[in-house]
Amino acid sequence: MLIVAAVRAAPMGLPSQATMAQQFQVPQFIEREARLIGPLTIKQTAFLVTGGVILFILWFILAKWLFFILAPFLSIFFLLLSFVRVNGRPLLEFFFSFFSFFLSAQVFIWQKIEHKEKTLEKKGQALEKYGGPPGTDATSITKQGIKDLAKKLDE
């Protein structure tokens, strides 16, 4: 893809007020991974080679009947890791994100909002439930009395 830009030349020694066209090569496919073997990327090749090495080692370690049971599952697993993409992301990265979401702590942001009237009402309700100090009637407590008491306690 070529982009043509018009640049107005400066009057100092260059063609007078002429318009010159310059071409700039714009890079494309920046997010493409480098290919290692044919159409396979480095990661895909690494997953397939790792799967092959594991199957090769299991061939000598396990009994043949057990190897033939496990080999298809391991082969499919490494093929999925190599070629499957979920929402444009490799499957391994998707698995890491999936499990880290459930294993990490969730962050909840709490912001305290004070409502003075509700706070006073709650204090009054608490005093009514308590009954107030000995010798006083719970119905005689007023908001002004609570404010006076709060001022005394703050001193």
Cβ atoms of 24 and 5 within 8 Å: the answer is yes
What residues contact 40, with CB distance under 8 A and at least 6 apart? Answer: 48, 82
DSSP letter assigned to residue 139: G
Q: Quick count: other Cβ atoms within 10 Å of Cβ 133? A: 10
Amino acid at 4: V
Rounded to whole angstroms, the Cα distance separating 87 from 76 reads 20
Count of CB atoms within 10 A of residue 103's CB? 7
CB half-sphere exposure, 78, CA atoms < 13 A: 18
Cα(133)–Cα(64) distance, rounded to whole angstroms? 86
Instruction: Say which residues have a Cβ less than 8 Å from residue 105's Cβ, sequence separation at least 6.
Output: none
The pTM of this model reads 0.47
Chain segment 85-122, per-residue pLDDT in tens: 898 888 989 999 999 988 988 777 777 777 666 555 55
For 115-154, the pLDDT digits (tens) are 666 555 555 555 555 555 555 555 567 788 888 888 888 8
pLDDT on residue 128: 54
Query: Tokens at residue 83, please?
Result: 């070629």
